[in-house]
Structure 1
């Protein structure tokens, strides 16, 4: 079952969000930039690896508007998202090179049919030596364009339907940006641009007639995607996330059913905001909190997915990091607050990744109410079918790339406002004013299709994961199994578990030696690569891949450098258990040979 190094995971998937790193040594080679690995990389996790279609679009922009020997480009869907990159870069590079960083904006040419799919494009061009600075924005913010959008934009640019904003063929009137949840109710627009004012006649004096643009759209998409579904797909996704749909249903039924109370009374799809990735939801929620509640430090509570911590550290006044997420940490936070310190928000995961520990949300909520800070909970690992954390949060964020989609072929994220939270009205007003819909229409359609059966998938995965972790827990070769069912914080998890909920599909395992961990990982007959929540079982040496340059730092928070993380899929339980037994046998052999 060993998949070829560097290939997409799952195989034969043009827009896969994972990549095959099938051996322990391949993961080390990837982290160290060794050519035998890097030269074979066909794709990668989209916030860490720029998809080939995005690379081609960037190269085309540079060829037309830059210097191919000097410039690099990072691509964003809107001016606002590009401005974030520009501001970050110009604050980090030498003053004398600031003028070499610029933004190019592209818009649909005159003649683009406003009832068809249209998209803007904003490109940050900069000297190649500062690519690592731009990469931080691409990775941490999650706001970059998707690979599907880039395919469309490249064709549109080459065929003359996408033009530089100030060119003669650009529209005469500026396009209005559709913001806030009203955007989802629009029947005539598929992106954040419109080529005419309401009631005005269709333009006919551009480089392409509206009729020709419609033909372009039909040829590009007509045979494999019904674009009229895009806004409806987003609405259905938002209803599912709100929790008002409690069974697997298709698109028509999702839209026909009358919305009902979901996770909390009064919650509706209007309180759900979609983003192009899970990190984008966290980044933008943090920005909105800063805008709404003022410039204050935040708290990162518990060992986090690394980019959350980086966002809080690099944008805004900074961050207090409590990597253990313990009651003693909460004691220290309370002491600081009672001593007069004030914070913007506390960010935490429920449960955490990769140690699957659960935070004391009730105590956190009590402190937040007393000292007037917001609580943001990342529920990606727990997911709202298993746990309901919204009543104790102001905002719940999630990566829809994971189990909500499952197919590992589309990125997405969400933010849900608690309608009973103390900052709800102010936050909702800011979202209405500042929110941009950055989710590409094609991606939304795939996300909706993938998520139709996510409830039954989660139930199956819960059951299988319990069986597999029971097997590992009973093995003397295993040092530790990290899973909510076995965690010291299980009572905290259980207090938020839904009546039909389970303990999820993610767990981590450690061994008594590196040799045992390597043998187990290399022998385990499952897909190997980054990401989680896939419909197929997926494994990675998590600490190596996420913290290779800071292994001792991770160890200081009890994250073993040799930890193996596993995300369970939909395979037959007996078959999957057999694969784990064979991997355990290999680990045992390695122990006896040591």
Structure 2
């Protein structure tokens, strides 16, 4: 799959800026090897942006998607206006939803839909482009790079039999992981589109209400209901008294939680919060992407569980996908199942992406357990290093332990803060001989200054939430643990 072995030859030096991670056509991450590269990326520096040969697909357009978008844009009358943009979607239904969002939020703007090579593009003028970009990012419903490659004639559609074989195998793996029936699981183009589907179903039984998110949020998990649905309120204080009061006051459509949160990797008390919510007739939506369904079981408590299969499940970093599981324990199971039957999802997981998901996830159980072990070892070693102030890892969280499956671990993610603050973090980051960029769950280690990437425009807010901007997040890979630790040791010497 990859011509460059990132386990042994990582993209970590300045010359690696913009290299796809992995070294593959459909990579979903990109090398930002120096601290200054991250800043330049966030500040839209033209030289940095021009160097990128890949991008996380919801935060921008993959080069193949961008080429398709440009072809559609040049054929549109709106293209003559300065700042116009083009957003390819896999079908007309998704593009119409994006169009409706733009017209609702930017009624003075000019937008239209145009078909090109089997996909539908939303064309937006400068006034509507921020809304178009927000819908693209928050929903994760945009056309994938493989769909773009087919539209451009660079790849062929997989055969129907190959697709159904892949679908069957992926669903079998997920049913074993979640110990549920296959009809409880649906596949989606991304983790965020799986959340979009969950919110769509919840809205059908509890309409016109905001959601309540508990715990420091992954940016788009909070933004999706805020921007695209009926609003969201964030509650950082997760005590039973605070949650109970917020539920009584808001009567939200649902409670949304992440297991654990990103990047501090703390887990809320899901059984207690679910009991409080259910007592007031409020469903619970849980995101188990970081903890992984291999390690934790949220279904006895959460009514809907969504996950980004892009991460540990696929493991290769070359496909965007998501899943949504309806719990058989849910008091709303029949209502939600009926809604799922009557409300078609806007888009399903594309055929060629399904093939890639099957290939990547074939070894998911063994791989996740190895990632668990490697990450725990790294967390323990970092905790003992004199330059390290704090290590964040789910192994220290009793609420996470309460959800763990027998013999399971804690996932592939840890974060750490250095005693030297931002200056030390910058030096260590630049010196680390591992791949550096967004995303997680890959077989190769991937490090990023997460708060800068996810919350650059709201760093003061993150600080008020006790989330330091100089924190380094590490998705530990399958490198030989001692070799990986020696790379970290060498970098820590610069702190």
For normalisation by structure 2, the TM-score amounts to 0.93
8 Å CA contact 1:517–1:562 kept in 2: the answer is: yes
8 Å CA contact 1:239–1:268 kept in 2: the answer is: no
8 Å CA contact 2:79–2:125 kept in 1: the answer is: no
Shift of 1:338: 4.3
Whole-angstrom distance in 1 between the partners of 2:212 and 2:186: 23
Does residue 502 in structure 1 map to residue 409 in structure 2? yes
- Residue 427 of structure 2 is matched in structure 1 by 519
- Residue 447 of structure 1 is matched in structure 2 by 357
8 Å CA contact 2:307–2:322 kept in 1: the answer is: yes
Kindly report which structure 2 residues correspond to 1:376-415, keeping only aligned pairs within 5 A, or say none: 376-415=285-324
- Residues 500-558 of structure 1 show CA distances to partners (whole Å, capped at 9, x for unaligned) of 20011100000122111111111111100000011100000001111111111011111
- Residues 342-387 of structure 1 show CA distances to partners (whole Å, capped at 9, x for unaligned) of 1110001001110000111111111122101110000000001111
Whole-angstrom distance in 2 between the partners of 1:583 and 1:563: 15
Task: Quickly say closer, same or farther: Cα 1:560–1:43, change in 2 above 3 A.
Answer: same
Gap runs ≥5 in structure 1: 108-119, 157-219, 245-261, 588-594
Whole-angstrom distance in 1 between the partners of 2:37 and 2:92: 38
Whole-angstrom distance in 2 between the partners of 1:347 and 1:337: 12
Moved more, 86-95 or 492-501: 86-95
Gap runs ≥5 in structure 2: 1-9
Task: Quickly say closer, same or farther: Cα 1:504–1:520, change in 2 above 3 A.
Answer: same
8 Å CA contact 1:235–1:269 kept in 2: the answer is: no
- Residue 535 of structure 1 is matched in structure 2 by 443
Shift of 1:83: 1.9
8 Å CA contact 1:53–1:147 kept in 2: the answer is: yes
Shift of 1:440: 0.9
Does residue 146 in structure 1 map to residue 144 in structure 2? yes
- Residues 434-462 of structure 1 show CA distances to partners (whole Å, capped at 9, x for unaligned) of 23352111100000010000111111111
One of 71, 77, 90 as aligned partner of 1:60:
71
- Residues 202-241 of structure 1 show CA distances to partners (whole Å, capped at 9, x for unaligned) of xxxxxxxxxxxxxxxxxx538xx55521122122212211
Kindly report which structure 2 residues correspond to 1:367-382, keeping only aligned pairs within 5 A, or say none: 367-382=276-291
Does residue 270 in structure 1 map to residue 189 in structure 2? no
8 Å CA contact 1:227–1:442 kept in 2: the answer is: no
Whole-angstrom distance in 2 between the partners of 1:291 and 1:524: 48
Whole-angstrom distance in 1 between the partners of 2:389 and 2:281: 42
- Residue 482 of structure 1 is matched in structure 2 by 392
Does residue 26 in structure 1 map to residue 45 in structure 2? no
Whole-angstrom distance in 2 between the partners of 1:348 and 1:67: 41
Whole-angstrom distance in 1 between the partners of 2:160 and 2:433: 39
8 Å CA contact 2:201–2:339 kept in 1: the answer is: yes
Q: Secondary structure at the match of 2:491?
A: helix
Kindly report which structure 2 residues correspond to 1:287-298, keeping only aligned pairs within 5 A, or say none: 287-298=200-211
8 Å CA contact 2:40–2:48 kept in 1: the answer is: yes
Shift of 1:470: 0.8
Shift of 1:395: 0.3
Whole-angstrom distance in 2 between the partners of 1:42 and 1:505: 26
One of 239, 242, 246 as aligned partner of 2:175:
242
- Residues 473-498 of structure 1 show CA distances to partners (whole Å, capped at 9, x for unaligned) of 00121110000113xxx211111111
Q: Secondary structure at the match of 1:531?
A: coil
Whole-angstrom distance in 2 between the partners of 1:89 and 1:221: 33
Whole-angstrom distance in 2 between the partners of 1:499 and 1:314: 39
- Residue 252 of structure 1 is matched in structure 2 by none
Whole-angstrom distance in 1 between the partners of 2:449 and 2:360: 27
Moved more, 394-403 or 461-470: 461-470
Whole-angstrom distance in 2 between the partners of 1:491 and 1:136: 36
Task: Quickly say closer, same or farther: Cα 1:73–1:36, change in 2 above 3 A.
Answer: closer
Shift of 1:323: 2.8
Shift of 1:153: 1.6
Shift of 1:57: 1.3
- Residue 212 of structure 2 is matched in structure 1 by 299
Shift of 1:66: 3.7
Shift of 1:293: 2.1
Q: Secondary structure at the match of 1:103?
A: strand
Whole-angstrom distance in 2 between the partners of 1:448 and 1:84: 29
- Residue 248 of structure 1 is matched in structure 2 by none
Q: Secondary structure at the match of 2:120?
A: strand
Shift of 1:64: 3.5
Aligned residues: 479
Task: Quickly say closer, same or farther: Cα 1:467–1:365, change in 2 above 3 A.
Answer: same
Shift of 1:280: 0.7
One of 455, 463, 467 as aligned partner of 1:559:
467
* Structure showing greater Rg: 1
Task: Quickly say closer, same or farther: Cα 1:243–1:574, change in 2 above 3 A.
Answer: same
Does residue 355 in structure 1 map to residue 264 in structure 2? yes
Shift of 1:292: 2.3
Shift of 1:420: 2.0
For normalisation by structure 1, the TM-score amounts to 0.78
Whole-angstrom distance in 1 between the partners of 2:403 and 2:247: 26
Does residue 51 in structure 1 map to residue 49 in structure 2? no
One of 569, 573, 583 as aligned partner of 2:481:
573
